[in-house]
Amino acid sequence: MKTMIRKLFVLAVLVLLAGCLTKMPVMAKTNGNTPVNIKVGKKTFKAVFYNNETAKAFLKKMPVKYKMSELNGNEKYKYLKYSLPAREQNVTRIKAGDIMLYGSDCLVVFYKSFSTTYTYTRIGRITNTKGLKKAAGKGRISVRFSKVKKKK
């Protein structure tokens, strides 16, 4: 009888763990982030916006298109006509594809990696940056942000 109870207990634990494990990849995959398309010039990139107040506020503005200016050979920026919630932090290292907010009203898309002492609020990041630097080009460029439409 004890052997039967142990087997049932082990089986119940395995079923419980299997149920938890099958849900884990879905949680890890989405992680509360929102998929976004970013068209830089003529090329579209996939991005994710983080699950934070700044990203949520910017998502409400989409779709939006801005003429973004060049700065320092590593980023495109646009001073917005509105403020977004900011939680600036010292990021120390910018990675190509990072999308951040400088202050409360300056949207920045980085196309080159570098170290920095500036503080930013993280909004999201472009997930595949291949061709981003070329697409960004030199000078001002049109950048369009839009949410990825959910498939039905």
Per-residue model confidence as pLDDT tens digits over 3-31: 655 555 555 544 444 444 333 332 223 45
Domain 34-147, what fold? Cyclophilin (2.40.100)
Judged against a pLDDT cut of 90, whether residue 144 lies above it is answered with: yes
The domain limits of the chain are: 1-30, 34-147
In the chain, the amino acid numbered 26 is V
Pick from 107, 7, 92: which is nearest to 54 by CA?
107
Pick from 106, 96, 149, 151: which is nearest to 127 by CA?
96
Predicted TM-score of the model (pTM): 0.78
Residues 32-81: tens digit of each pLDDT: 789 999 999 999 999 999 999 999 999 999 999 999 999 999 999 999 99
- 144 membership: H or E segment, kind and range: strand 141-147
Over residues 109-132, the mean pLDDT reads: 97
Token pair for 64: 């939006």
Predicted pLDDT at 32:
74
Over residues 129-151, the mean pLDDT reads: 93
Contacts of 9 (CB under 8 A, 6+ apart): none
Predicted pLDDT at 30:
41
Pick from 143, 125, 144: which is nearest to 48 by CA?
125
Helices (H), 31-137: 53-59, 132-136
- Identify the band that residue 149 occupies on the pLDDT scale cut at 50, 70 and 90: confident
